[in-house]
Homo-oligomer: A and B are copies of this chain.
Amino acid sequence: MFGKHPVEAVLLKRPKAVRRLVIAGRESYYEAIIRDARERNIAVETLPWEDFLALGQFDESEKHQGILALTTPLVIFDDHDLERLGEASCVLALDQVSNPQNLAAILRSASFFHADAVILMKHRAAEMTAEVQRLAVGGAEFVDIYRITNLANTIDELKSMDFRVFGLDERGERTLAQTEFPKKTVLVIGAEGEGLRQKTRDRCDELVRIPGGRKAVESLNASVATTIGLYEIFRLRDRAPE
């Protein structure tokens, strides 16, 4: 794990996962992170640039910002762990989103708008690689990530836990802004370019849409559409922070 934001995020969220924290260059540049680390009794090692680059196996194009953390892997939950979502309030489910950059941007947005969990498909979907974690700029740390085998079954299970399930789809009757999102909400997003599969759509309690669009530009990038959905749930539910 490397770069200031991802390392800062892991220090905040799962400090026990950090096995080594290594910097190169001027200490003053990392002041806040060094303070965070010391508060959590994590030693900060300073290495010469050459050793730092070798340890991280970095090539010149990588944006390590002179800081890296060796950590235990991120915990990924699965079908058997869904009951952990009993106390969750906002859950995002991705139906076959396959582009790693989109997945990373979605994780970042989910953390930004305080979603509790992101559910991914085990098959035909982007993997949770180190690269996705890096592109999420720390966003992968603040949501629980689940990989499940069958989305229709998972939706049923979430419904039985009193979640209301909204599919983001241009065929929705109401727009996001016209919708009341209850305390326990699931937002389901379809694959890039294809939208929700019919069997997923049929399980949703309601379809909601983003207003806008025009002939030849009927849809938005998947991560962009997802973020608008998360933004509206955050904004409409909790007007206090506005």
Binding site for B on A (CB under 8 A): 5, 8-9, 12, 101, 105, 108-109, 111-114, 137-139, 141-142, 175, 177-178, 210-217, 219-221, 223-224, 227-228, 231, 234-235, 241-242
Contacts and interface: CB of A to CB of B under 8 A. Distances in A.
Residue in A114, A137, A141, A217 with the greatest tally of chain B CB atoms within 10 Å: A217
A224 B12 contact: no
B216 A138 contact: yes
Nearest to A178: B242
A171 to B, nearest CB: 15
Contact of A175 (B5, B138, B242): B242
Number of copies: 2
A109 B212 CA distance: 9
Contact of A227 (B12, B111, B228, B235): B228
A220 B105 CA distance: 8
Contacts of A231: 210, 212, 228, 231
Contacts of A137: 217
A113 B109 CA distance: 20
Contact of A235 (B8, B211, B219): B211
A237 to B, nearest CB: 11
Given A224-B227, A231-B212, A234-B211, A112 B242 contact: no
A214 B112 contact: yes
A107 B39 CA distance: 44
A177 B235 contact: yes
A5 B217 CA distance: 7
The listed residue with most B CB atoms (<10 A of its CB), out of A210, A211, A241, is A211
A8 B217 CA distance: 9
A141 B111 contact: no
Contacts of A142: 214, 216-217
Contacts of A108: 217, 220-221, 224
B214 A114 contact: yes
Given A211-B235, A212-B114, A217 B177 contact: no
Nearest to A174: B242
A214 B138 CA distance: 11
A100 B12 CA distance: 32
B105 A138 contact: no
Contacts of A8: 215-216
